[in-house]
Amino acid sequence: MIKNDLFLRALKGETVERPPVWMMRQAGRYLPEFIAIREKYDFFTRCRTPELASEITVQPIRRYGMDAAILFSDILVIPQAMNIEVEMKPGVGPWLPNPVRTQQDVDNVIVPDIDETLGYVMEAIKATKELLNDEIPLIGFAGSPWTILCYCVQGQGSKNFDKAKEFCFTQPVAAHTLLQKITDTTIAYLKKKVKAGVNAVQVFDSWGGMLSPTDYQEFSWQYINQIIEALKDDAPVIAFGKGCWFALDKMSNSNASALGVDWTVSPKVARELTGNKITLQGNFDPVRLLSPPKVIKKMVRQMIDEFGKDKYIVNLGHGILPHIPLDNAKAFIDAVKEYKS
């Protein structure tokens, strides 16, 4: 049994004494203990070495005592497993030397055997569960099929993912074939993660907001929903679409346990769009963590008041930034732990 099950109770919509809190990208680059590991090992070595991934996962828990841990990994381990080369270039970020641009490229993409290609992730989960010792739940994650497609086709990060969108709009058959292959791989991957011990999963649709509401339904949401349907009986699923407030109504009528929201939508509007029938997670602007700790605490309390303490998980509206002072991150977490309604 998990000793602190606040996060899991909030996902079920139960009444809680205070909302749970964790931060996207909490295992990472703002922590000096993470930077010490980063100086010794390159990015994908950290992802592929279970003892490193598990150590990085628990670092923020030791320091701040969040209510959930999220496994240190990357969304791009999926395309790597699917026979698509992915590098992490210093100063550039993700770099795919041979982007997917044609039907032939799509035909070369495989739906892999998860144990053979991503077994190291399952080992990292087992190692992390040992370190956590049932104190708090562990979250596993994957990128949404659309977000993965964005990198596979664009070949790197982008402000508008124009090549990815062009591919979808000019070669829709190839695009949907690729999206389905990514979806099938992601479902198999997340099911293995649950089997290995994660207590919940989150699907990150980081680039969903690049699409119009109509295109979002066609090229993103229908595939995320397949993942939710496939996983719903195995573990709670959180769907997080950055910039996708326009889809909250539709998303709230799914079998997701919670929806992540970013800072571009107010708690009031997010609750109205979802009819207050689903747990919401978010939505503090990560840059706001550069405000003085006193201001952060005040704003966090206000945010909880506006969302309401039940059916709510406190989080940022996107990943924590590398240059956030440690005391400011602490103020964010402490404000939630000290919350009294």
User: Three-state secondary structure along the chain?
Assistant: CCCCCHHHHHHCCCCCCCCCECCCCCCCCCCHHHHHHHCCCCHHHHHHCHHHHHHHHHHHHHHHCCCCEECCCCCCHHHHHCCCCCEEECCCEEECCCCCCCHHHHHCCCCCCHHHHHHHHHHHHHHHHHHHCCCCCEEEEEECHHHHHHHHHHCECCCCCHHHHHHHHHCHHHHHHHHHHHHHHHHHHHHHHHHHCCCEEEEEECCHHHCCHHHHHHHHHHHHHHHHHHHCCCCCEEEEECCCHHHHHHHHCCCCCEEEECCCCCHHHHHHHHCCCCEEEEEECHHHHHCCHHHHHHHHHHHHHHHCCCCEEEEECCCCCCCCCHHHHHHHHHHHHCCCC
**Radius of gyration of the chain from Cα atoms?**
19
Whether 48 sits among the annotated catalytic residues: the reply is no
Residue 207 banded pLDDT, cuts 50, 70, 90 = very high
- Is it the case that residue 275 has pLDDT exceeding 80? yes
For domain 6-337, give the fold.
Answer: TIM Barrel (3.20.20)
Q: Which two tokens stand for residue 45?
A: 């070595």
Residue 228 banded pLDDT, cuts 50, 70, 90 = very high
Of 9, 63, 74, 234, which is the active-site residue?
Answer: 74
Mean pLDDT of 261-265: 97
Predicted confidence (pLDDT) per residue in 22-36, tens digit: 999 999 999 999 999
Q: What b/e string do you get for 316-331 counting C-beta neighbours within 10 Å, with b at 16 or more?
A: bbbbbeeebeeebbeb
The answer on whether 26 is annotated among ligand-binding residues is: yes
Mean pLDDT score across all residues of the chain: 97
Query: pTM (2 decimals)?
Result: 0.97
Alpha-carbon gap, residue 262 to 239, rounded angstroms? 12
The answer on whether 206 is annotated among ligand-binding residues is: yes
The answer on whether 48 is annotated among ligand-binding residues is: no
Alpha-carbon gap, residue 157 to 144, rounded angstroms? 15
The answer on whether 151 is annotated among ligand-binding residues is: yes
Predicted confidence (pLDDT) per residue in 3-25, tens digit: 999 999 999 999 999 999 999 99
Percent of the chain with pLDDT over 90: 98
Mean pLDDT of 123-151: 98
- What integer pLDDT is reported at residue 117 of this predicted model? 98
- Is it the case that residue 341 has pLDDT exceeding 80? no
- Is it the case that residue 240 has pLDDT exceeding 80? yes
Whether 38 sits among the annotated catalytic residues: the reply is yes
Of 9, 29, 63, 301, which is the active-site residue?
Answer: 29
Of 9, 38, 101, 301, which is the active-site residue?
Answer: 38
- What integer pLDDT is reported at residue 193 of this predicted model? 98
Which residues neighbour 195 within 8 Å (Cβ) at sequence distance 6 or greater?
A: 122
- What integer pLDDT is reported at residue 286 of this predicted model? 98
- Is it the case that residue 306 has pLDDT exceeding 80? yes
Percent of the chain with pLDDT over 70: 100
Residue 112 banded pLDDT, cuts 50, 70, 90 = very high
Residue 91 banded pLDDT, cuts 50, 70, 90 = confident
Greatest Cα-to-Cα distance within the chain, rounded to the nearest angstrom:
58
Whether 74 sits among the annotated catalytic residues: the reply is yes
Residue 241 banded pLDDT, cuts 50, 70, 90 = very high
Say how many CA atoms lie within 13 Å of 116 toward its Cβ.
8
Predicted confidence (pLDDT) per residue in 159-204, tens digit: 999 999 999 999 999 999 999 999 999 999 999 999 999 999 999 9
